[in-house]
Amino acid sequence: MSTPAPPAFSFAKLFPRRRVLFTLAVVLPFGLLLGLSSLSPTVVVVARGLLVGVFAMLAYGVFEQWPARLPARIERWVLQLIAVVIAVPVGALVAYWITLGGDPQFSQNPARLNGYLSLTVLGGMIALWIALGAMVRSREALARDQALAFELERSELARQALDARMQLLQAQVQPHFLFNTLANVQALVETGSPQASRVLDSLIAYLRAAVPRLDDPATTLKQELELVRAYLELMQMRMPDRLQYALQADSDALAARCPPMTLLTLVENAVRHGIDPSEEGGRIDVDVQLRADRCSVRVTDTGVGLKRVGNGLGTGLANLRERLRIFFGHDVELRLVAREPHGACVDLDFPIRRNDAGGPAH
């Protein structure tokens, strides 16, 4: 694996706006303070202090970026502090040279030498404290950035895990539904029913519409109701005297989003566990209502009633509950209750998500 190239040296990073303003805010009062005890004009003293501050800031900024890579035994902050310590006396010397128009001749002027030493010592102390403070702030900002990056990475991994879980659950739905439907066709063929061919044609037409939607991350209640209607028509052809049904839905609820096969799972469960085992058959009613910002779905049947399996839900409903939890988070409720004198009722309640807000909750 190739090592990523180090970032290029940026001169713009030597003069970040906040650092320049902070340097000016410190240098100006410092220069004015030295000017009170100096024989030189205050403007000259302030200018010298400003040059020293610029040198220290440049030294700090240069070694903040250069060299791009350091040996493991050398810490960058050490180089930066050493650079600042060296930059202050050099900057002070340059400042005296510029403001005096040449050699400051410290040996012939003790007062000038004392001013240089004062500027160097006081400037060095202040520059070191400022550099240390900047390092602490830089470390804190880096820690915040790393924490944010870690949180973003954790959220992305959690999202990927939810997506993988949803795909796994939907993969389980596909064979479950297809095998159940094919078993119905097989039963007609084995009994020599004249309806077998017509049912098979309806099944093929239904699968052409249903299978492409199985891998979709979300669907609408309108699409779900279309599948449910096709499925119930198919089942009614298989047992015309034993199955009646009715579908009712608020038009405003049709755009609501949900996981694929949501309504179909509820209806298939009613047919498989309610109507099919009953000699008399029964009726299935699907009712979809919009209540404020939530959608309420009720699927009732007059079949044989509940037979407790495991945690109270069959495989299809248990799978659906998990997919709903991934899609909506914990803001969803699925209840299965018995009806009197016989039959079952499934109530599903979830928040409205229209076409611009579909997908698993993260």
> In the prediction, which pLDDT does 302 show?
94
Residue 296 lies in a domain: yes
Mean model confidence pLDDT for the chain? 80
Number of domains observed in the structure of the chain: 2
Supply the CATH number for residue 297's domain: 3.30.565.10
Residue 181 lies in a domain: no
Task: Tell which of 135, 152, 169 closes a domain.
Answer: 152
Residue 1 lies in a domain: no
Looking at the whole model, is its pTM more than 0.75? no
Between 178 and 114, where is the model more confident?
114
> In the prediction, which pLDDT does 299 show?
96
> In the prediction, which pLDDT does 215 show?
61
**Which residues form the domain of 279?**
193-357
Considering the domain architecture, whether residues 69 and 138 belong to the same structural domain is answered as yes
Instruction: Please provide the distance, in angstroms rounded to a whole number, between the alpha carbons at the two ends of the chain.
Output: 33
The pLDDT of 25-49, averaged and rounded, is 82
Residue 306 lies in a domain: yes
Considering the domain architecture, whether residues 133 and 265 belong to the same structural domain is answered as no
Between 133 and 51, where is the model more confident?
51
Considering the domain architecture, whether residues 147 and 234 belong to the same structural domain is answered as no
pLDDT per residue as tens digits for the range 157-180: 666 655 555 555 555 455 555 676
Which residues, other chains included, contact 319 with Cβ-Cβ below 8 Å and sequence gap of 6+? 169, 172, 173, 176, 265
DSSP string, 53-99: HHHHHHHHHHHHHSSSS--TT--HHHHHHHHHHHHHHHHHHHHHHHH
Which residues, other chains included, contact 223 with Cβ-Cβ below 8 Å and sequence gap of 6+? 213
> In the prediction, which pLDDT does 305 show?
85
Considering the domain architecture, whether residues 233 and 127 belong to the same structural domain is answered as no
pLDDT per residue as tens digits for the range 187-232: 777 787 777 777 777 777 667 666 666 566 788 999 889 888 888 8
pLDDT per residue as tens digits for the range 62-102: 888 888 887 878 888 888 888 888 999 999 999 999 988 88
Residue 182 lies in a domain: no
pLDDT at 273 over 60: yes
Considering the domain architecture, whether residues 45 and 113 belong to the same structural domain is answered as yes
Considering the domain architecture, whether residues 140 and 197 belong to the same structural domain is answered as no
